[in-house]
Structure 1
Amino acid sequence: MSRSPEFVVKSPAMDIVIHSLSDVGPDQRRRLCEGARGIFWDTAEVKDFSSETEREGFIYKYFSYYMEREPELFFCAFSDHQVFGYICGVADTRQHQELYRCADHIPLFDDLYGEYPAHLHINLAAESRGKGLGGRLIEALEGALRTTGEAWGLHLVTSEGARNAGFYRKNGFTHEVCRGILPEEPRMLFMGKKL
């Protein structure tokens, strides 16, 4: 059963529809996953890996895990067969202990998950940025979380000083905490929002 309504973003050139992976048939789901995976790799800051295992581990902790475990919280924005962006997440980070083992930043902010249990990852195709689509994807995920009552707060983690922090602030993520994993690495920025 669908956890969220269909969202439609109107633009002069086309209508972009937003659906969760659980709301589409198998063929369309496969196409959406392929398109979203392409956007993931286009936007990834890390592109060089020492092995295929390392490469697969990287996409798993930021993308594939969510597609497999929470398809109802994995939304794609698309028109016909083109994917323009996606957002994915979980309703309660602490219920996903596998992420604690594979993603270094997850345990770093564990003390904040009581207040902001849900988290997200979002990426847009380059030509889709600055047109309001990112905000609509966040609305879709928030709508699904509110409908089920599974979360009362949402967060994300980015790098301190990252360009995308302004976008998140504009979309209500104003509770900020910076912490470092290792002293020689850039600090991570936790950004939380009440639902």
Structure 2
Amino acid sequence: MHIRPFEPTDRADIADICVRTGDNGQDATGLHSSDGLLPDIYALPYADHEPELAFVADNGERAVGYIVGTGNTRTFAEWFSAEWWPTVAGKYPSDGELERSIIASAHNPERMLIAAVDEYPAHLHINLLPEAQGQGLGRRLIETLAAALAERGVQGLHLVVGTGNTDAQAFYRRVGFTELASNEGGIVLGMKLA
């Protein structure tokens, strides 16, 4: 398997991976009224907004993992609110408590602005299918994105991981992230790039 830059033909694979790992690392297929909800919030807008910061793990046939990110969370949140979300929001009725919560967060992209956003302005989303895990691909994807961000002069990178996703928390700490903050909704982890 190899890491390569995102291509527009990877969109369907990225959406599929996002759903199949969207429930704290487990399959979220059928969990919401539409399987398009999670990728339309947590994956595809990043690939569209800054495709040069999107990379995939390719098994020779398809993408089996991806990392997407933004170099400037403030700018991304403004773009998401003004341009992205209005074009997709109508596809998703807010059925159910979980779905209402996810849609409410999409309507409030300022939620992305963590307290340390000036020190850690970039953020990422990463997912690997189960068959691609445990092979060093997650580390390589993070290293690839971190290098691309460092080339742009970005000084710090952050992410939010669910409090129940202990495997992911351990992985992020192994690759160099440290805890910046936490609450019942998640743990904010950061990594200095410069």
Query: In the alignment, which of 113, 118, 121 is matched to residue 122 of structure 2?
Result: 118
Does 2:176 match 1:172?
yes
Contact 2:47 2:68 in 1 (8 A): yes
| Paired residue type of 1:91 | G
For 1:158, which of 155, 158, 161 is the aligned residue? 161
Query: Higher strand proportion, which one?
Result: 1
The TM-score normalised by the length of structure 2 is 0.75
**Post-superposition shift, 1:60?**
1.3
C-alpha RMSD of matched pairs (Å): 2.1
| Aligned equivalents of 2:110, 2:63: Cα separation in 1 | 28
Alignment-mate amino acid for residue 147 of structure 2: G
**SS at structure 2 position matched to 1:120:** strand
Alignment CA distance shift 1:103-1:121 (3 Å): farther
Deviation string 1:13-64 (CA, Å, 9 cap, x unpaired) is: xxx221222xx5xxxx31x2222222111111144224x4xx5443211011
- In the superposition, the TM-score normalised over structure 1's length comes to 0.75
Aligned counterparts of 1:36 and 1:57: Cα–Cα separation in 2: 13
Letter in 1 for 2:58: F
- 37-46 or 116-125, larger mean C-alpha shift: 37-46
Name the stretch that deviates more: 75-84 or 131-140.
75-84
Q: Which runs of 5+ in 1 are unaligned?
A: 1-15, 180-185
Q: Percent identity?
A: 34
2:85 alignment counterpart? none
Say if 1:191 and 1:42 are closer, same or farther in 2 by CA, change over 3 A: same
Is residue 147 of structure 2 the alignment partner of residue 147 of structure 1?
no
State the distance in 1 between where 2:115 and 2:143 align: 25
- Cα offset, 1:75, TM superposition: 0.3
> Secondary structure of the equivalent of 2:43?
helix
Name which of structure 1's ranges 123-132 and 78-87 shifts more when overlaid on structure 2.
Answer: 78-87
Aligned match of 1:43: 21
How many residues were matched structurally? 163
